[in-house]
Amino acid sequence: MSDVTIMEATSSRAVSEPLVERSELPHTRIEPSKGWISLGLKDLWQYRELLFFLTWRDIKVRYKQTALGAAWAIIQPLFTMLVFTLFFGRLAKVPSDGIPYPLFSYTALLPWQLFAYALTESSNSVVANERLITKVYFPRLVVPLASILAGLVDFVIAFTLVVGMMVWYGIRPTWAILTLPFFVVFAMATALGVGLWLSALNVQYRDVRYTLNFIVQFWLFASPVAYSSTLVPARWRPFYGLNPMAGVIEGFRWALLGKAQAPGAMLWVSVVVVALVLVGGLYYYRRMEKTFADVV
């Protein structure tokens, strides 16, 4: 039988030794990482099937053992819309850019719910998948990504209602609807950017779990869901774009209903903000992920 060779502790000798590699086998070097590390996107690509399966798992399990099942995906935005319509639309008479208020708020609730769900799930994802992380290796980015992608199903289900509402109110989509996918991706990118920061922080500081609800609520009122961004003086609107969801929601309304103005400077500010948050989040997450298994 083959025997184990005792390696000498002096590594210099061993390293200089020639290695006969078995032709095509991948070589991995396991060592302490230092400084800035690459994003590991290649590794992520190799594990794309895991991303698919984790997303699929989250979707499949989401409405197990519920009486109403996937109907929840419509019920939540629908009832929020009804409440908003009653209080903001009817009683407070919040202007809605000439769009029927129910449609006005529901089109905003769509990306909002997608974002809120993705943000909550991704922030909790690393802690929730603790067992996986402490037992198996895979690119850790898969975890928040999968939880965000799973939110798309709810979005698609809820989207069917907006189609019905547009028919009801007789609103025809314009060419702008072609930009809709961009705004969907943009909403998810925003959630991912913030979610990466929060999920990595959550590993160390469980305070994140408790602040998350507050953040989401606060953010909802800071975003033009129940009201229009035209309430903000035009001068200040680009600054309003510092809240990326303002850009997302106004863009979404514009793309879908075509009636409001195309979001200009505000959107570009949002794009820049998201890009910064996302890239920063990616690097921060990658930096922190090596400690996940030890700390989580």
Partner 1 sequence: MTDVAIRCEGLAKQYRIGERESYKTIRDVITDAFVSPFRHFRSALRHSRNSSSAEKPNIWALNDVSFEIKPGEVVGIIGRNGAGKSTLLKILSRITEPTRGHADVWGRIGSLLEVGTGFHPELTGRDNIFLNGAILGMRRAEVARKFDEIVAFAEVEKFIDTPVKRYSSGMYVRLAFAVAAHMETEILLVDEVLAVGDAQFQKKCFEKFRQISTGGRAIVFVSHNMSAMRAVCQNGIVLDRGGMVTLGEINEVVDGYLARLNQQSPTIEPAETESFILEEVLITSSEGPVIKTFDDVEIRVTATAKTDIADPGMYVGVLTMEGQRVAGLDFKDFQTISPVRAGESVAIGFRISEFPILPGIYELELHLKDMGHHKIEFVPRRTSFEVVESPIYGGRKIDSWYGQIGLRARAFAESPFLVRAQNDESQAR
Residue 25 is a binding residue for partner 1 (CB under 8 A): yes
Residue 64 is a binding residue for partner 1 (CB under 8 A): yes
DSSP string, 216-253: HHHHHHHTTTSS-GGGS-GGGHHHHTTSHHHHHHHHHH
Exposed, middle or buried: residue 13 (CB in 10 Å: 0-12, 13-18, 19+)?
Answer: exposed
Count CA within 13 A, CB hemisphere, residue 163: 7
* Closer residue to partner 1 in complex, CB, 143/184: 143
* Closer residue to partner 1 in complex, CB, 8/170: 8
* Closer residue to partner 1 in complex, CB, 14/185: 14
Residue 290 is a binding residue for partner 1 (CB under 8 A): yes
Compute CA distances 147 → 55, 73, 117, whole Å.
Answer: 6, 16, 9
Nearest approach in angstroms of CB 126 to partner 1 is 12
CA distance 218 to 59: 27
- Token reading at 157: 């289900």
- Asked if residues 117 and 154 have their Cβ atoms less than 8 Å apart, the reply is yes
**What size, in residues, is the chain?**
296
* Closer residue to partner 1 in complex, CB, 54/162: 54
Residue 16 is a binding residue for partner 1 (CB under 8 A): no
- Interface residue with partner 1 among 136, 167, 185, 275 (CB under 8 A) is 136
CA distance 102 to 66: 28
- Interface residue with partner 1 among 79, 168, 169, 205 (CB under 8 A) is 205
Residue 60 is a binding residue for partner 1 (CB under 8 A): yes
What's the one-letter identity of residue 11?
S
Contacts with partner 1 by CB under 8 A: the residue count is 55
Closest CA to 127 of 212, 211, 199, 215: 199
Nearest approach in angstroms of CB 26 to partner 1 is 7
Q: Which residues contact 292 (CB under 8 A, 6 or more apart)?
A: 126, 133, 140, 203
Residue 213 is a binding residue for partner 1 (CB under 8 A): no
- Interface residue with partner 1 among 41, 45, 52, 68 (CB under 8 A) is 52
Nearest approach in angstroms of CB 188 to partner 1 is 22
Nearest approach in angstroms of CB 20 to partner 1 is 6
Nearest approach in angstroms of CB 53 to partner 1 is 4
Residues of the shown chain interacting with partner 1 in the complex, contacts defined by CB under 8 A? 1-9, 11, 14, 17, 19-22, 25-33, 47, 49-50, 52-54, 56-57, 60-61, 64-65, 131-138, 203-207, 290, 293-296
